[in-house]
Amino acid sequence: MSSRSSLLARRHSGGAARRPRSGNPPPLPGKSRNLLDSVQFALDGIVYAVRHERNVKIHFVAAVVVLVACLILPLDPLGVLMVLGATSLVLVAELINTAIESVVNMTIQGHHPLARIAKDVAAAAVLVSAFFSLGVAWQILIPALSAVYWELQDSGWSRLAGDPVPLLCFGVILLTLGVVVVLAVSHRGPFPPSRLVLGHAALAFGVSAAVLSVTREPLASLLAIPFAAMVSRRHVHTGIHGWPQVLGGATLGVLLSLCLLMAARKVIP
């Protein structure tokens, strides 16, 4: 009887010890609650997909071309939204396909019918999204491209020269894609923490250079450089990264931004 009582007592004490003190479950090991860390992990995933998957590289290059077309073509806001949505859908499908293939390769060794089905269905999702994007391009981009010839005859692009907002918005998107592609091509090995610092500095100084080149507002020009300096200073003070990575990122961002602005000004007089 005493042994049974002691067994019940041990079970009771073990259950009480396993019961959490608060209503929230304990955090999973390795799971970060920091939003910046989550964004960094997501960008690492994009860089990995661009580096190791040929189709992802092709679709990223196509996305850059489509964004440039949206910048220079006379599209209405609904058409631009449809093109951006179709482009994003293709990229999301490619990233999900890469994730599914990685999980299947990790869990299943050798050839398995279920593994083939999973990969085929993921590839089918990419194919469906690609057909949808082609349909959107056929209905929106092709008519706009056919009208370019006649609009260029009458200098129809001059109406966009006085509005820098579309140029800045699309320039930031193209700058982000360009930084991701350059980092994916130039870096090798695992993802060091200094890579994202290089990307942060490139984006900050690239946006600042674009603002200084396009806007005529004195306040915006005065705030552009301190914004980039604050972003870079925050990462240097963590103690993991140094000024060489920040200077390299700043140089990369400024060069990419100036190249985009020069290309846009050749198209938009």
Q: For residue 170, give every residue at least 6 positions away whose Cβ sits within 8 Å of its Cβ, in sequence order, or none.
A: 67, 68, 70, 71
Tokens of 256: 């990419």
pLDDT given at position 16: 44
Mean pLDDT of 56-75: 83
Indicate the pLDDT class of residue 247, thresholds 50, 70 and 90.
confident
Please tell me the predicted confidence (pLDDT) of residue 220. Answer: 65
- Report how far residue 41's alpha carbon sits from residue 38's, in angstroms, rounded to the nearest whole number: 5
What is the CATH code for 53-154? 1.10.287.3610
pLDDT for 81-125, tens place per residue? 898 899 999 999 999 999 998 888 888 877 888 888 888 899 899
pTM: 0.52
**Catalytic position from the list 94, 101, 151, 217:** 94
CATH 1.10.287.3610 residue ranges of the chain are 53-154
Active site residue 217: no
